[in-house]
Amino acid sequence: MKILRRGLIGLLLAANIALLVFILKGIKEHPQGIKAENVTIVAAPDQTEAQVHPDFIKEEFVLVLPEGKNIAVGKKIKDNGFSDVYGANRANDGKTDGASYWEGKKEYPNTLTVDLETAAKIHTIRIALNPQTIWGKRTQTIGVNISPDGENFTELVKAKQYTFDPEEGNQIQIPFDEVETRFVQLVFTENSGANGGQVAEFEIYSK
């Protein structure tokens, strides 16, 4: 057994020596003896920023607001319950940063209703969350109701699941045929990112 091991070790040493000799024979000139005319210098390209392959470059999101004016900002707004300190008044204060958002109570459905104070013709609703990436991608199921008096509501837009993605502004827009109304109500029945509906800004557009 010892003889066999010694034989294997000897073969390995011989193979290594043969490989070294082969490599040394392949070097025709000592590095110090290489002539300058035989050396090709390759210049690195000027680079002021990291290079990214085109396949990994994401198209920058550009927010395009609905036509007209947001007539909901600063108007009277109420909910049917909220979590912690995140009351309805935070949902139309013109801010989407920090803690300026509404979050419904932990029991669906959650409603958020704006009183436009007078009847107005509207055509699009925009719902925004904080655009920062810390507000990760989520879905919310939302329906839209309208009312002339704040008591008797009719369905304007059937409930649907919408995706809020920070890479797309963390906002969604709900367009519909122009309609005249005074009260506009959002109805939330699901939120994959929290226990209640969430809105940083509830915007209602009129031409």
Residue 117 in any domain: the answer is yes
Among residues 68, 76, 132, which one has the least CA distance to residue 100? Answer: 132
> What CATH number is attached to the domain comprising 193?
2.60.120.260
Computed over every residue of the chain, the mean pLDDT equals: 87
Residue 26 in any domain: the answer is no
Residue 59 in any domain: the answer is no
Among residues 128, 118, 116, 107, which one has the least CA distance to residue 184? Answer: 116
Least confident of 21-30, 44-53, 148-157: 21-30
Burial class of residue 3 (count of CB atoms within 10 Å of its CB; 0-12, 13-18, 19+): exposed
Report pLDDT for 57: 73
Q: What DSSP string describes 112-147?
A: EEEEEEEEEEEEEEEEE---STTS--EEEEEEEEEE
Buried b (16+ CB within 10 A) or exposed e, 18-56: eeeeeeeeeeeeeeeeeeeeeeeeeeeeeeeeeeeeeee
**Per-residue pLDDT tens for 3-32?**
545 555 555 555 555 554 444 455 555 556
What residues make up the domain containing 153? 69-206
Asked whether residue 199 carries a pLDDT value surpassing 80, the answer given is yes
Contact 206, 124 (CB under 8 A): no
Side-chain-side CA neighbours of 163 within 13 Å: the count stands at 5
Phi, psi of 122 (to 5 degrees): -125, 155
Residue 139 in any domain: the answer is yes
**Per-residue pLDDT tens for 78-119?**
999 999 999 999 999 999 999 999 999 999 999 999 999 999
How many independent structural domains does the chain possess? Answer: 1
Measured CA angle at 110 (ends 126, 134), to 5 deg? 60
Residue 31 in any domain: the answer is no
pTM reported for the whole predicted model: 0.74
CA pair distance 79, 81, nearest whole angstrom: 5
Neighbours of 185 (CB within 10 A): 22
Could you give the C-alpha distances from 109 to 11, 57, 81, 143, 187, in angstroms and in order?
80, 40, 10, 10, 6
DSSP state of 44: P
Residue 171 in any domain: the answer is yes
The structure tokens 């979590």 sit at: 83
Residue 52 in any domain: the answer is no
Residue type at 130? N
Residue 108 in any domain: the answer is yes
Mean per-residue pLDDT for 132-155? 98
The structure tokens 């509501």 sit at: 153
